[in-house]
Structure 1
Amino acid sequence: MKIKHLIIVFFLLGTSFSFAQSTKDEETVLQLSKDKWQWMADKNIDKLKDLFDAKAKFVHMSGTWKTDEELEIIKTGSIWYKEAQVHDTAIEISGETAIVWNRITLIAMVRGTEAKTEFTVTEVYQKQKKDWKMLALTFSSVRDTHQIKK
């Protein structure tokens, strides 16, 4: 009988540690996602370069490109992400992969013209050693009534 109780105690401890780690990872990734919008607005290439995996892909309304191209676009102001108003967020973590969905209103300067667009943005992150790196960022145009199911 004592072995049975001991097994249950170890199971509960393991489950609570796993939950605590998952919650910590969720908080970390959500903060990175939030910080990313500010870094993009500030054209902070150094911070973004640390966040973006070298092989990351970025899908926009006008095309798809890789990390170096995205950083150059931000640096030159070809697209200036002036402000991302985040209305709704959801996250799911599976192993070392996190997916974040943000419903945003993006105010941006695109080739000299200001645009205000509703998007759901899908971000994919991977834990590499102790750091989370963004592998993909995809903008999907949506109505302002769009909601992310959690």
Structure 2
Amino acid sequence: MKVLIMSIIAVAGLQYSLAQEKKISTNEIHYKVAEQEIIQLSKQKWQWMADKNVDSLALLFHNKSVYVHMGGSWGKNQEINVIKSGGIHYKKADIHEVSVNIIDNTAIILTKMDLLAVVGGNEVINPFIVTEVYVKQGGSWKLGSLSFTKTMTSGKK
């Protein structure tokens, strides 16, 4: 009988401690919602880039944004012009892994991907870790920086 009572107490204590671990603060919930929002925005951006939807991209890109590619770096206007002219056509981002860190009104996204693009008339696939930095202004996220770091192997696991 003692063993049975002790077992019940142990199980109840374990359930209580597990229930305590599952509590999530409202701040954590806010960050999880913001993380999902920014991941969706990033995915939408890759589609806009593939579709050469420069009107939507121009609204998303901050006026002071910077872009770092394998062949150089430039600002918003040149990035929009490169996409519009087809100088770089981001055909398909094959995303393998995404992580988000939010610091106050700044979101940093790291994306492991294989990017199918047409560059200088040549179709290429490159494995990248892409860093995106978004800043929240007036209730909306703006892309402040987009940097491509080429890796030696594909992001596929």
TM-score by length of 2: 0.81
1:105 alignment partner, SS class: strand
Correspondences of 1:1-150 after superposition (within 5 Å): 16-144=25-153
Q: For residues 74-133 of structure 1, what are the alpha-carbon distances to aligned partners after superposition, in whole Å with 9 as ceiling and x for unaligned? A: 000000000110011111001000000001101100010111100000000011011000
Question: Distance between the aligned counterparts of 1:76 and 1:83, measured in 2?
Answer: 17
Q: How many residues align?
A: 133
Structure 2 residues not aligned, in runs of 5+: 1-23
1:43 alignment partner, SS class: coil
Runs of 4+ aligned structure 1 residues displaced above 3 Å come to none
Residue type of the alignment partner of 2:146: L
TM-score by length of 1: 0.85
Residue type of the alignment partner of 1:42: D
Question: Distance between the aligned counterparts of 2:155 and 2:123, measured in 1?
Answer: 22
CA root-mean-square deviation: 1.3
Q: Percent identity?
A: 41
Q: For residues 56-87 of structure 1, what are the alpha-carbon distances to aligned partners after superposition, in whole Å with 9 as ceiling and x for unaligned? A: 00000000000000000000000000011001
The structure with the largest alpha-carbon Rg is 2
2:74 alignment partner, SS class: strand
